[in-house]
Structure 1
Amino acid sequence: MPHQNHVTAPEDRIPVSQKIAYGMGAVVTIVAVNSVMQLTNLVYIVGLGVSAIWIGWASAFPRLWDAVIDPFIGNMSDNSRSRFGRRIPFLIAGGLLIGIAFAMLWMVPRDWSKEWMFGYFVVTSLFFYTVVPVYAIPQGALGMEMTSDYHEKTNLFAYASFIGNIGALTLPWVYYLANRPFFGGDTVNGIKWICLGMAVILTGAAMWCALVCKEGKLHQARAQARVPIVESFKTTYRNGTFVRLVSAFVLLIVAFQLVMGFNNYITIFYLYGGNTSAASSLMAYNGTLWAVTGLLGAFPMAWLSKRYGKRFTVIFALALIIGGNLSKIICYNPALPYLTMIPTVCLSLGMVIGFSLVNAMIADICDEDELATGIRREGIYFAVYNWWWKVAVSIATVLSGYLQRLTGFAEGAHTQSDATLFWLRAWEIGLPPALCLFSVWLVFKYPLTEARAYEIKGLLKARQTAAAATPASAA
């Protein structure tokens, strides 16, 4: 049942110009990271014939390194006291470096051996995943501190989701455009030049975010003592609300990471019998549908959250994901390949609602932490959230390569056996819903409701008012 809603106070509203700029900043990580996740297998395994297990390990190690440095970046940002702010300097430096690293990933020399191509990917992906958190962690923390209002946090991340998914509209067309005659039938070369242009755009979007957005807790943070990383790290693990929320989303991420890339293989080899040109069209259309659904999904997300609360909305999103993935039992049909648009809509809508809300929910948890400890540390909370799922994703990425090998998949082949195609579908359809059921259970018991969030806000405001009045009374 819908409940009584609070009204956002004028001083808690974020200007539209800043919401748009923050959304442009979200484009950077959404497009860059998702491009790497989607294109790596298509370039290095399908296009260049590098072993899937090699690429699985090569993808996992940089993500583990990324996870290791996330908390250090988060704590460093929380403790920064520069005159330009705690977050903005990181956004500028990180945005420039992401553009360089993203372009380098696809410039692998074609005349090298498979072993040297593998080594090139290890080095460039390690560089890429080193610079991503320099930008992504402070950018995520920035959004969590731009307002203290429960609903305005959701609105900000709805903008980020909407604008980020406009950028994501480009992703499914990279592989399609790379297969056009303009590039002479050389898919790998096509991807290289397209991604070079994307790198320039990503850097520009990062600068837009850095130069327009304003930090909401800067003056308060400057007055607080610097906190050692170990202490901050322990604080997040003692927060039961945070642990429950993060565990639910880590399970969701791992569920799909274990079968990452299987959908592309099923499309190419099961639905289209190895015809990459025909498959690329469906992949492009489905990718565009995914992005458009994600684009529009920001609106029902904001409406549902405001009317029914964030916990209910996340459970609704998980139900969509489970149902959408199970619908592939029917929708993987070589005679009607475009039926795959049905699970695409369900999965995209569920994912955008869930992953947009998790940031707003962590922002609420940061307020709860301030009430308990008196410290603002959005950076370390966002970093530890990323740390949890990156470690899990790294492990799942390695296991995915072995799982792919278990299906009998032959790298570089133009066709796959019937048994391989069956097991690709069995794992890709069945595994994610099974793990997502545990996420539903965890979110169902999530305790930080709207009423509690506004209670915390009132207590924090009363504390700040009392602290401001103390010097005057003493005088």
Structure 2
Amino acid sequence: MAYSTSTKVPMAQKIAFGIGMFANQMFPAILGIFMVVLVEDLKFTGLLWAMIYLFPRLFDAITDPIMGFISDNTKSKWGRRRQYVLVGGIVMGIAYIFMWQLFKENSVQYNFWYFFSWSALFYLGLTLFSVPYVAMGYEMSEDFHERTNIMAIAQWIGQWAWVFAPLFWIIMYDESWFPSADVAARELAIWVAIPCAVCAIVPALFIKSKSTLNEDYEPLTLNNIGGSFMKIIESFKEAFKIKEFKKLCISTFFIFNAFNTVASLTFFVIVYKLFNGNAGDAGIWVSMFGCLGALGTTFLVIPVVARMSKKFGKKKAFMISQFISIIGYVMLYFLFIPGKPWMYIIALPFFSFG
């Protein structure tokens, strides 16, 4: 049920939805920055770090479809989405603060299970928030072009999270700010979580929705929820019989893995290869990688790819973009040069096309 049947959605409503997108992007972005502290300062092993990265993906694969069914079939005077967005935003904020209250004095095992437990609650909150939140955006208008405009504004606002998040690397490893990165993580978690949680609940408070009390939805029983999960699995099987769809999935898998591999290891490559392991000496250069990459994507890559899509078609634009990104990945290999950290900037516009 759409929240608005009119052609145009008020700009205030679009901005309210976009503010939620900032939270939806900022929490994962800043989490990736803070995660370095686990290895660099709290001495988590590679295996423990991998488990912390793997668990959310497995958790989301189960909870996201379930949350989708629950949200789609909720009968409420507040509609199907708003209450979950509100609760999810609050849960994310609280869990994020507590999950980073880690101390070097505790054992690695204790810190691991403490972090793991709170992160499970955090990702549950993220699911509660993000699944109905994204659906809320598509239901704000019945007009195809207006929905595109809503999402474009939201993505533009959300993209700034990836510009701001890397700046925290400067603060965390600057001793004039904090004596150590683990102390920084404990304190900054509070200053990050509270405003992000506020941003997350803005759509729930300000975007209008219609009552669904009289709608003919499926009852929210355990049997129906379990059955919905099985239906989704069957739908996946049917979708993967489509040759073109399978190719897109395989491409997406490798593209995201390539990008996330570089993103996860950037800190260590810059600090240990370019600055001989001294995070303080690395200064702004770790942050610059993320900031300039995000700015390039926002103001250069997205407009260029959109223009290529209109001129050459989506398939050719996709192939050209990936070819350019491969050039960027190869350039990064040669441009991480000790003593010349600025050299990697040359590769970023190419890399961002991925």
**Could you state the TM-score of these two structures normalised by the residue count of structure 2?**
0.84
2:91 is the counterpart of 1:87: no
- Paired position in structure 1 for 2:286: 283
What are the Cα deviations for residues 172-201 of structure 1, in whole angstroms up to 9, with x where unaligned?
111211222344431221122122111011
Cα–Cα, structure 1 residues 285 and 43, in superposed 2: closer, same or farther, change >3 Å?
A: same
Aligned-partner residue type, residue 348 of structure 2: T
Query: Following the alignment from structure 1 to structure 2, what is the Cα–Cα distance between the partners of residues 318 and 153?
Result: 27
Taking every aligned residue pair, what percent have the same amino acid on both sides?
A: 24
Task: Give the unaligned 5+ runs of structure 1.
Answer: 1-9, 352-475
Aligned-partner residue type, residue 181 of structure 1: E
Please give the residue correspondences for 1:249-268 in structure 2 after superposition, counting only pairs within 5 Å.
249-258=252-261, 261-268=264-271
Compute the displacement of 1:336 (Å).
2.2
Query: Following the alignment from structure 2 to structure 1, what is the Cα–Cα distance between the partners of residues 323 and 78?
Result: 43
SS at match of 2:284: helix
Compute the displacement of 1:149 (Å).
4.4
Query: Following the alignment from structure 1 to structure 2, what is the Cα–Cα distance between the partners of residues 223 and 130?
Result: 28
Aligned-partner residue type, residue 76 of structure 2: S
Task: Decide which structure has the larger Cα Rg and report it.
Answer: 1
The count of aligned residue pairs is 338
- Paired position in structure 2 for 1:235: 235
- Paired position in structure 2 for 1:325: 329
Which of residues 276, 295, 298 in structure 2 aligns to 1:295?
A: 298
Tell me if structure 1 keeps the 8 A contact 2:91–2:125: yes
2:18 is the counterpart of 1:14: no
SS at match of 2:166: helix
Cα–Cα, structure 1 residues 160 and 242, in superposed 2: closer, same or farther, change >3 Å?
A: farther
- Paired position in structure 2 for 1:23: 18
Tell me if structure 1 keeps the 8 A contact 2:26–2:161: yes
- Paired position in structure 2 for 1:112: 106
What are the Cα deviations for residues 254-305 of structure 1, in whole angstroms up to 9, with x where unaligned?
3334555322211011111112112241012222212322332554455555
Aligned-partner residue type, residue 222 of structure 1: E
Which of residues 144, 148, 153 in structure 2 aligns to 1:154?
A: 148
The more displaced of 143-152 and 57-66 is 143-152
Query: Following the alignment from structure 2 to structure 1, what is the Cα–Cα distance between the partners of residues 154 and 208?
Result: 15
Query: Following the alignment from structure 1 to structure 2, what is the Cα–Cα distance between the partners of residues 155 and 232?
Result: 29
Cα–Cα, structure 1 residues 54 and 224, in superposed 2: closer, same or farther, change >3 Å?
A: closer
- Paired position in structure 1 for 2:117: 123
2:169 is the counterpart of 1:171: no
Cα–Cα, structure 1 residues 242 and 12, in superposed 2: closer, same or farther, change >3 Å?
A: farther
Aligned-partner residue type, residue 35 of structure 1: I
Query: Following the alignment from structure 1 to structure 2, what is the Cα–Cα distance between the partners of residues 87 and 310?
Result: 32
Query: Following the alignment from structure 2 to structure 1, what is the Cα–Cα distance between the partners of residues 319 and 142?
Result: 24
Tell me if structure 2 keeps the 8 A contact 1:47–1:188: yes
- Paired position in structure 2 for 1:35: 30
What are the Cα deviations for residues 20-74 of structure 1, in whole angstroms up to 9, with x where unaligned?
222211111211112222321x211111222121221233224312321111001
Tell me if structure 2 keeps the 8 A contact 1:237–1:243: no
Please give the residue correspondences for 1:125-140 in structure 2 after superposition, counting only pairs within 5 Å.
125-140=119-134
- Paired position in structure 2 for 1:222: 215
Compute the displacement of 1:211 (Å).
2.3
Task: Give the unaligned 5+ runs of structure 2.
Answer: none
Compute the displacement of 1:100 (Å).
0.9
Query: Following the alignment from structure 2 to structure 1, what is the Cα–Cα distance between the partners of residues 207 and 312?
Result: 29
Query: Following the alignment from structure 1 to structure 2, what is the Cα–Cα distance between the partners of residues 340 and 166?
Result: 22
Aligned-partner residue type, residue 235 of structure 1: S
- Paired position in structure 2 for 1:65: 59
Compute the displacement of 1:315 (Å).
4.0
